[in-house]
Amino acid sequence: MILLKTKNYKKSINSLPKKDKEFLLKQEKFLIKDIFSPQLHTKKLKGFPEDHVYSFRITRAYRGIFRLNGENVILFAIGHRKDIYQNL
């Protein structure tokens, strides 16, 4: 898998606390190996019938959202679990 990060995703990383940024890097390594790794708690999102859009756990409070496009994992959003799904 190849990780691609959108500008919005990169910008959102800066809003994370330092401890969570470090944990995000570990989670991204799991994404490269296996997007359905148990450590990620990956879930397919409803409301995107044609697209393959998933969320993964960064920490208990933060989630990341990505789209699967062939061999590419396109990371496009990070946010607090209470807010992230409303902004899609």
- DSSP for 20-54 reads HHHHHHHHHHHHHH-TT-TTTT-EEPTT-SSS-EE
Q: What global pTM score does this model have?
A: 0.87
pLDDT of residue 10: 92
- How many domains are there within the chain? 1
pLDDT of residue 56: 95
Could you read off the pLDDT of 23-62 as tens digits, one per residue? 999 999 999 999 999 999 999 998 877 778 999 999 999 9
The answer to whether residue 87 sits within a structural domain is: no
pLDDT of residue 15: 87
The answer to whether residue 85 sits within a structural domain is: no
pLDDT of residue 73: 92
The answer to whether residue 88 sits within a structural domain is: no
What single-letter DSSP state applies at residue 1? Answer: -
Could you read off the pLDDT of 5-34 as tens digits, one per residue? 999 999 999 988 899 999 999 999 999 999
How wide is the angle at C-alpha 27 spanned by C-alphas 76 and 22, nearest 5°?
95
Lookup: tokens for 84: 């992230």
CATH of the domain at 52: 3.30.2310.20
Residue 36 belongs to what domain range?
A: 2-80
